[in-house]
């Protein structure tokens, strides 16, 4: 018998909200629009990382890996390079939803 996948606690999933679903959480959207750096620091704090690490591809890749979210480092780079505010708000919405579900 050949093993083709590793057993894990859960199958790969998607982010719980879409990249452009800012209206799902207007508070986070406004926070990101008014002070993106502050939102990045909040995300980094939530994840136990240095405040300077809260924005961009590395934090998104770490989060995706931790929660087994579909994607790749290349896709993370492209998304954060072309739409950093949307990517950052999406990440914060996902963190908030996982906290509500008790899985963060």
- Region of poorest pLDDT, from 22-26, 32-36, 44-48, 67-71: 22-26
The reply to whether 7 falls in a domain is: no
The reply to whether 48 falls in a domain is: yes
Domain that holds residue 97: 25-101
When pLDDT is cut at 50, 70 and 90, the band that residue 97 belongs to is: very high
* Count of beta carbons in the 10 Å neighbourhood of residue 41: 18
Break the chain down into helix, strand, coil percent, rounded to 5: 60, 0, 35
The reply to whether 76 falls in a domain is: yes
The reply to whether 19 falls in a domain is: no
When pLDDT is cut at 50, 70 and 90, the band that residue 10 belongs to is: low
Do the beta carbons of residue 85 and residue 39 sit within 8 Å?
no
């Amino acid at each position: 018998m050949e093993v083709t996948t590793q057993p894990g606690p859960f199958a790969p999933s998607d982010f719980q909200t879409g990249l452009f679903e800012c209206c799902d959480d207007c508070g986070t959207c406004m926070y990101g629009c008014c002070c993106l750096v502050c939102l990045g620091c909040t995300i980094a704090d939530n994840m136990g990382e240095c405040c300077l690490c809260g924005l961009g591809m590395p934090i998104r890749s770490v989060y995706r890996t931790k929660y087994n979210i579909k994607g790749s480092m290349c896709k993370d780079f492209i998304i954060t390079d072309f739409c950093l505010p949307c990517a950052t708000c999406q990440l914060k919405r996902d963190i908030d939803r996982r906290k509500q579900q008790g899985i963060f």
